[in-house]
Amino acid sequence: MTTAIGDRPLVRVEHVSKHFGEGETRVDALRDVSLAVYPRQLIALLGPSGSGKTTLLNIIGCILSPSSGSMEIDGELVARDGHWLRSDLRRLRLEKIGFIFQSHNLLPFLNATDNVAIALQLAGVDSVSARKRALDLLNYLEVGHRKDAMPAHLSGGEGQRVAIARALANRPSIILADEPTAALDSKRAQIVMDLLRKLAIEQDAAIIAVTHDEKIFDRFDYLFQLRDGKLDGEPQAGAAAAQA
């Protein structure tokens, strides 16, 4: 198992619930969920469709507000009892959180370098520094030779690596991934997960992934199973933890 660093989790969710609608139309997407994720850990959220996985990921990503409970991001209490405690959630996401999706969602009119650099420029980094950081990341992820390629000309694995570079551009401490390997074959999926583990270790980051992809279960430290909006029992130690 990748060793967690320090006593303070990067993500702490306590008794979080989320519902949509009211009265007869109310849907309880999450019910009394608590978990903590520490630096250098890779965590999987598992469960059938409608179990609350993506809702939980979106709450951790400060996209959806919890209806009740509390959440800390990197030691800061950011949500409590249905209210955000920060007004600048966009800044929080830019500084602390990176997102990776099943589809790389690269901007089709920008090449690989500019797709990464734009994340930095949105955070206020000048264009020269942004492109240098983008090139460094592409090289780090072994796609530097594709720096001028447009998204339509990238393979699935290459596009996902560029998307990972974009997610890491602002050095986030938390990386959220929604089905990051579903569109990849087994070899490419394992390469992507090995890259994420390497990043978690080298940058003291926490990685939380929603996945149905059984071929990557052995890459996680813990597997959290959700069912009907609730955590189903204690988290299961993944094969990565068992190898410790």
Mean pLDDT for 158-178 is 89
Q: The pTM is what? A: 0.85
pLDDT score for 240: 56
Residue 242 pLDDT greater than 50, yes or no = no
* CATH architecture for segment(s) 39-63+86-242: 3-Layer(aba) Sandwich (3.40)
Percentage of residues of the chain with pLDDT beyond 70: 95
The answer to whether the CB of 119 falls within 8 A of the CB of 147 is no
Give residue limits of the domains in the chain.
39-63+86-242
Residue 90 pLDDT greater than 90, yes or no = no
Q: What are 18-77's pLDDT values in tens digits?
A: 999 888 888 999 999 999 999 999 999 999 888 999 999 999 999 999 999 999 999 999
Q: How confident is the model at residue 195 (pLDDT cuts 50, 70, 90)?
A: confident
Residue 173 pLDDT greater than 70, yes or no = yes
Write phi, then psi, for 92 (nearest 5 degrees): -60, -45
Mean pLDDT for 214-228 is 90
Residue 244 pLDDT greater than 50, yes or no = no
CB atoms within 10 A of CB 127: 12
pLDDT score for 107: 92
pLDDT score for 196: 87
Angle of the 127-140 helix axis to the 156-168 helix axis, nearest 10: 130
Mean pLDDT for 137-156 is 92
Mean pLDDT for 138-161 is 91
User: Is 78 buried (19+), middle (13-18) or exposed (0-12) by CB count in 10 A?
Assistant: middle
Residue 172 pLDDT greater than 80, yes or no = yes
Contacts of 54 (CB under 8 A, 6+ apart): 178, 210
pLDDT score for 5: 58
